[in-house]
């Protein structure tokens, strides 16, 4: 028996071509997509403007695969909801809904685990298992939207577990699908992608000329310190990373956001701040300071509020726009990967290669 075709994660054109091969009128593809993405209906039986014969045919030959919500945690002030999902192969991932005045954002994962090995990140604990397919990334947004009927999703941030540019093709496919008017119709300018600094892929992304926001996880102003915090820096040192960022701006006209996780006694000195200003001088950019999320296995802690604001003033005094990321969801495991790790510590029967 032929494997059923998963209609999730396919463009309207893709589905039209499939339907044409099945001798189904092309306009039926639009009807099916409207049921899935506009009405949140995944069951062919409920697609009542399709004939019973067509619904039975689709049930026999197609599917709308889905990821399953295993757990949902809501922060005390109700501005953050963290979701734990089970994939079809029993791996687990997480995604987060964050409520903002400027619009609600969903932070999605792109890999099960991560191979980058950043010293302060919970996602890398236990290593890398596999890349996510574009439909699995897309379905994180879909399932969150369906479970919270009154929430409009305006922004997507690709900053969850995994390195997006290490899963380049599937992530780019996801971005284009999320932007499609037939799916979520989210503007490219409301999509942010975060990378630890894969230089060749940054240059490749620049050539796509998509007006998304590129966020670079910098976290240190010099190679010596960044080598300690981020293994990727040994492959792509800061100089090559900054050159790639300048190239990205030249090709897209989109300024870079540099993420800088402030860690007490590690990268929060005034000298670190001045070095950071020298490094970013003349670059069209924005610095986002992130008081480090507490990860028990790592032992890093955030600086005092006084030190954080002093560090911010140093950067701003050099003409670089700087913000401090508002802490969200710290009471429900704010750091990427924390909810997943706690779940896997307690549950058996879930496929997690580094625990077996």
Binding residues: 114, 118, 121, 162-163, 194, 217-219, 293
In sequence order, what are the residues at sequence separation of 6 or more whose Cβ sits closer than 8 angstroms to the Cβ of residue 209?
251, 252
Q: E strands within the chain?
A: 5-6, 62-63, 68-74, 80-86, 92-98, 104-107, 111-113, 128-131, 153-158, 191-195, 213-217, 256-262, 285-291, 321-324
Q: What is the residue-level pLDDT of the chain in tens, covering all 356 positions?
A: 679 999 999 999 999 999 999 999 999 999 999 999 999 999 999 999 999 999 999 999 999 999 999 999 998 888 899 999 999 999 999 999 999 888 899 999 999 999 998 988 878 887 899 999 999 999 999 999 999 987 899 999 999 999 999 999 999 999 999 999 999 999 999 999 999 999 999 999 999 999 999 999 999 999 999 999 999 999 999 999 999 999 999 999 999 999 999 999 999 999 999 999 999 999 999 999 999 987 666 678 999 999 999 999 999 999 999 999 987 666 666 555 566 666 766 665 544 433 32
Binding residues for S-adenosyl-L-methionine: 162-163, 194, 217-219, 293
Q: What is the pTM of this model?
A: 0.93
Beta bridge partners of 63: 6
Does 208 participate in catalysis according to the annotation? no
The whole-angstrom separation of Cα 102 and Cα 233 is 34
Whole-number pLDDT of residue 352? 45
CATH number of the 68-355 domain: 3.20.20.70
Catalytic annotation, pick one of 196, 245, 277, 336? 336
Q: How many residues does the chain have?
A: 356
Does 107 participate in catalysis according to the annotation? no
Catalytic annotation, pick one of 94, 136, 170, 201? 94
Nearest residue to 163 via CA among 203, 192, 195: 195
Cβ proximity of 92 and 68 under 8 Å = no
Could you state, in order of their start, the residue ranges of all structural domains in the chain? 5-63, 68-355
Binding residues for [4Fe-4S] cluster: 114, 118, 121
Q: What is the 3-state secondary structure (H, E, C) of the chain?
A: CCCCEECCCCCHHHHHHHHHHCCCCCHHHHHHHHHHHHCCCCCHHHCCCCCHHHHHHHHHHEECCCCEEEEEEECCCCCEEEEEEECCCCCEEEEEEECCCCCEEEECCCEEECCCCCCCCHHHCCCEEEECCHHHHHHHHHHHHHHCCCCCEEEEEECCCCCHHHHHHHHHHHHHHHHCCCCCCCCHHHEEEEECCCHHHHHHHHHHCCCCEEEEECCCCCHHHHHHHCHHHHCCCHHHHHHHHHHHHHHHCCCEEEEEEECCCCCCCHHHHHHHHHHHCCCCEEEEEEECCCCCCCCCCCCCHHHHHHHHHHHHCCCCEEEECCCCCHHHCCCCCHHHHHHHHHCCCCCCHHHC
The whole-angstrom separation of Cα 195 and Cα 296 is 23
Provide the 10 A C-beta neighbour count for residue 111. Answer: 24
Residue 272's H or E segment, with its range, is helix 270-280
Whole-number pLDDT of residue 100? 85
In CATH, the architecture of 5-63 is Orthogonal Bundle (1.10)
């Amino acid at each position: 028996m032929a494997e059923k075709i998963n209609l999730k994660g396919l463009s309207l054109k893709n589905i039209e071509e499939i339907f044409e091969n099945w001798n189904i009128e092309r306009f039926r593809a639009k009807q099916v997509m409207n049921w899935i993405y506009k009405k949140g209906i995944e069951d062919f039986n409920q697609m009542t403007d399709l004939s019973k014969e067509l619904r039975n045919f689709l049930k026999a030959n197609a599917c709308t695969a889905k990821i399953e919500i295993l757990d949902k945690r809501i922060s005390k002030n109700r501005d953050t909801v963290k979701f734990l999902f089970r994939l079809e192969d029993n791996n687990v991932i997480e995604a987060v809904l964050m409520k903002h005045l400027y619009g609600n954002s969903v932070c999605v994962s792109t890999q099960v685990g991560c191979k980058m090995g950043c010293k302060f990140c919970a996602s890398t604990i236990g290593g890398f298992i596999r890349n996510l397919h574009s439909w699995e990334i897309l379905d994180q947004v879909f399932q969150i939207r369906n479970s919270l009927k009154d929430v409009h999703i305006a922004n997507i941030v690709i900053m969850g577990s995994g390195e997006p540019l290490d899963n380049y093709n599937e992530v780019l496919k996801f971005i284009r699908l999320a932007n499609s008017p037939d799916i979520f119709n989210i503007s490219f300018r409301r999509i942010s992608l975060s990378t630890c600094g894969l230089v060749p892929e940054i240059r490749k992304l620049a050539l796509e000329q998509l007006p998304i926001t590129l966020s670079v996880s910098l976290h240190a102003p010099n190679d010596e310190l960044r080598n300690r915090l981020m293994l990727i820096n040994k492959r792509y040192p800061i100089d090559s990373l900054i050159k790639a960022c300048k190239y990205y701006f030249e090709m897209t006209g989109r300024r870079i956001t540099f993420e800088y996780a402030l860690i007490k006694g590690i990268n929060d000195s005034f000298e670190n701040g001045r070095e950071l200003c020298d490094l970013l001088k003349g670059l069209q950019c924005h610095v986002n300071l992130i008081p480090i999320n507490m990860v028990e296995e790592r032992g890093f802690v955030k600086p005092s509020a006084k030190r954080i604001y002093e560090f911010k003033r140093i950067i701003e005094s050099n003409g670089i726009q700087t913000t401090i990321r508002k802490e969200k969801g710290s009471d429900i495991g704010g750091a990427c990967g924390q909810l997943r790790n706690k779940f896997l510590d307690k549950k058996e029967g879930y496929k997690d290669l580094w625990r077996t």
